[in-house]
Amino acid sequence: MNKKINFEDSIFILEARIRMIRDLLHLDTDTSLFYTQTMNDLEFINNVMEMLTTKFLENLKILDREVEADNIVETEWKYSQLLIEVANNSSPFSASIFPQMSATISKFKKDSARRQKQIDDSYVPKENTVVENGVTDAELNGLLGSA
């Protein structure tokens, strides 16, 4: 799978899936009908986020690297918030009805936190970079008296 990754489009689709699951949590549905597919969707998002993070970390020459990092981290945050909502006691997917869910969600949360840390550690956002005051050639020549 050496195909070029389109981070922007992949993230767009993942965020649409996250919104879809979040909407499902607020609807009055028969949870047993949607449980398996929802867990599969969460696993799919987890797997794609893993792949995007790996590709991002492997390729230091990505155009707009900081923008892509911000987009990945933002999507990862939305995913982690969704996982919290799914695991929440008020979620239609109750741990008492679906006891295996807790372990699955816990694994996804750990994966998400690890990826967020990897991305955060791999770059420094522009607003956190320190701009050093350098001396231009013209200033140096002026200081040295060789105009």
Question: How many domains does the chain divide into?
Answer: 1
Q: Which long-range contacts (CB under 8 A, 24 or more apart) does 101-109 make?
A: 101/35, 101/39, 104/39, 104/42, 104/43, 105/42, 108/42, 108/43, 108/46, 108/79, 108/83, 109/80, 109/83, 109/84
Q: Is residue 1, in this structure, part of any structural domain at all?
A: no
pLDDT of residue 130: 45
CA distances from 83 to 24, 125, 126 (A): 13, 26, 29
Between 143 and 59, the higher pLDDT residue: 59
pLDDT over threshold 90, residue 12: yes
The chain-wide mean pLDDT, for the chain, equals 84
pLDDT at 129: 45
Q: What is the domain range of residue 73?
A: 7-144
Does residue 77 sit within a domain?
Answer: yes
pLDDT, tens digit, 9 for 90 and up, residues 55-108: 989 887 777 888 888 999 999 999 999 999 998 877 888 877 888 899 999 999
Is residue 118 included in any domain, yes or no?
yes
Q: Please report whether residue 108 resides in a domain.
A: yes
